Amino acid sequence: MTQDRILLAHGSGGQLSHELVERLFLKYFDNPILARLDDAAVVRVSSFRFQVPGSSNLKAEAPNPKLAFTTDSYVVNPIFFPGGDIGKLAICGTVNDLAMSGARPLYLSASFIIEEGLSLDDLERIVVSMRQAADEAGVEVIAGDTKVVNRGSADGLFINTTGVGIVPEQIGISGSNARPGDKVIVSGAIGDHGMAIMSQREGLEFSAPLRSDCAPLNKLVAAMLEASREIHCLRDPTRGGLATTLNEFAAQSNVGILIHEGRIPIHDAVRGACEMLGLDPLHVANEGKLVAVVGEADAEKVLVCMKGHPYGAEAAIIGEVRAEHPGRVVMRTLLGTLRLVDMLVGDLLPRIC
């Protein structure tokens, strides 16, 4: 790596994050499951080889359910924001990562790193909010941990949640499954979460309110998977935004992606705030949206299914997968020109999640 110290941009979800993962974590934690870089690791329980003392290997007895496993630490600042808080985010984010692998989320762990001096009332509000989000998603928090660090050694509260789920046998979703001809669907308007955090943090006032879209998407995904077996890729465009997710799909699947600017749903308040601040909404984080790459024949059916769900009401087909320019994402702008859509580079907004 060209730097010798960690920069904020190493945590942005963009290019430096990817470099750090590839040159350090993948290098040393070298295994094919991690190397897939999907939102959740999926392992067959048959990989769970072990000898039961005095009996035969359990492997022979068991079928092969596929276990999904994902982790995220949440460091969002501020811990309360319009539309949610760090607790709701910690449940929804991990539930969504499981759902994006096609898994039915089941169990979560929750680990708290608390700065000495945090108000117990605030902590209680956050735990209540976690419970509500867990109830909505239909998951249970079954393991936990609490650490307290001295004042000045953390910033209020960090929460890690790690989740397990099971992937139904016939489902094989991965960022590497996009095929030329597939359609790209986004489940709703982009940029709400990032702009809500930014306005809250910077004390910016806009005419229309900005509100995080933070939501558990597992039930939307379950409905989509019931509607079609041609859902090839699923991912929630969090850090790095829609542009980064599409670039990940293009790279993992070695395909090109063409999107149409005029079809991308964006709320007016977000568009206005982005224009004012000189931000590209394609790079702004979401916490209640997903991007699906769907076989062409099923795309309309999946879209209709999504529109019938509260978290997919504003869904839209925004583009298609191409054989041309593999590894690249290109956007046809409102002016009719083509522009390359890059992965987020540098640091748009740290500590968004």
40: three-class secondary structure by DSSP: coil
Burial environment of residue 280 by CB neighbours within 10 A (0 to 12, 13 to 18, 19 or more)? middle
CB closer to a second copy, 153 vs 254: 153
**Binding segment for a second copy among 139-147, 247-255, 260-268, 329-337 (CB under 8 A)?**
139-147
Cα separation, 226 vs 280, in Å, equals: 34
Dihedral, 312, 40, 283, 111 alpha carbons, nearest 10: 100
Restricted to residues 71-130, the positions that interact with a second copy (CB under 8 A) are 71-75, 77, 104, 106-107, 109-121, 123-124, 127-128, 130
Tell me the residue type at 62: A
Check binding of 264 to a second copy (CB under 8 A). no
Packing angle between helix 86-100 and helix 218-227, nearest 10 degrees?
Answer: 20
| One residue of 44, 78, 147, 338 binding a second copy per CB under 8 A | 147
Going by C-alpha positions, the residue among 190, 215, 55 that lies closest to residue 129 is: 215
Alpha-carbon gap, residue 240 to 219, rounded angstroms:
24
Interface residue with a second copy, options 80, 82, 136, 160 (CB under 8 A):
160
Nearer to a second copy, 153 or 333 (CB): 153
The 36-55 contact track toward a second copy, x by CB under 8 A, reads ----xx-x-x-xx-x-xx--
Instruction: Among 44, 57, 78, 169, indicate the residue that binds a second copy (CB under 8 A).
Output: 169
| Least Å from the CB of residue 95 to a second copy | 14
Under the binding rule (CB under 8 A), the answer on residue 148 touching a second copy is yes
- Nearer to a second copy by C-beta: 116 or 275? 116
Please, what's the b/e burial string for 5-16 (b: 16 or more CB within 10 A of its CB; e: otherwise)?
eeeebbbbbbbb
The stretch among 62-70, 248-256, 268-276, 280-288 that binds a second copy (CB under 8 A) is 62-70
Question: What does the H/E/C string look like for 139-182?
Answer: CEEEEEEEEEECCCCCCCEEEEEEEEEEECCCCCCCCCCCCCCC
Tokens of 62: 């068991």
Helix (H, G, I), strand (E, B) or coil at 74: strand
What is the token pair recorded at 124?
Answer: 């209680």
Does 214 engage in binding with a second copy (CB under 8 A)? Answer: no
* CB-based contact 98:66 (threshold 8 Å): no
Q: Is 144 in the site for a second copy (CB under 8 A)?
A: yes
The nearest distance, CB 320 to a second copy, in angstroms, is 26
Residue closer to a second copy (CB basis): 74 or 319: 74
Contact flag: residue 268 with a second copy (CB under 8 A): no
When asked if residue 304 is in the footprint of a second copy (CB under 8 A), the reply is no
Q: Residue 277 interacts with a second copy (CB under 8 A)?
A: no
Total residues interacting with a second copy, rule: CB under 8 A: 94
Of the residues 80, 82, 136, 155, which one makes contact with a second copy according to CB under 8 A: 155
Site for a second copy in 326-345 (CB under 8 A): none
Min dist. Cβ of residue 332 to a second copy (A): 34
Q: Which amino acid is residue 307, in one-letter code?
A: K
Q: Decide if residue 34 touches a second copy (CB under 8 A).
A: yes
DSSP letter at 45? G
Specify the stretch interacting with a second copy by CB under 8 A; choose among 30-38, 279-287, 304-312, 319-327: 30-38
Name which of residues 221 to 260 contact a second copy (CB under 8 A): 225-226
The pair phi, psi for residue 189, each rounded to 5°, is -65, 140
Interaction between residue 56 and a second copy (CB under 8 A)? no
Cis peptide before 216 (omega within 30 of 0): no
Nearer to a second copy, 141 or 277 (CB): 141
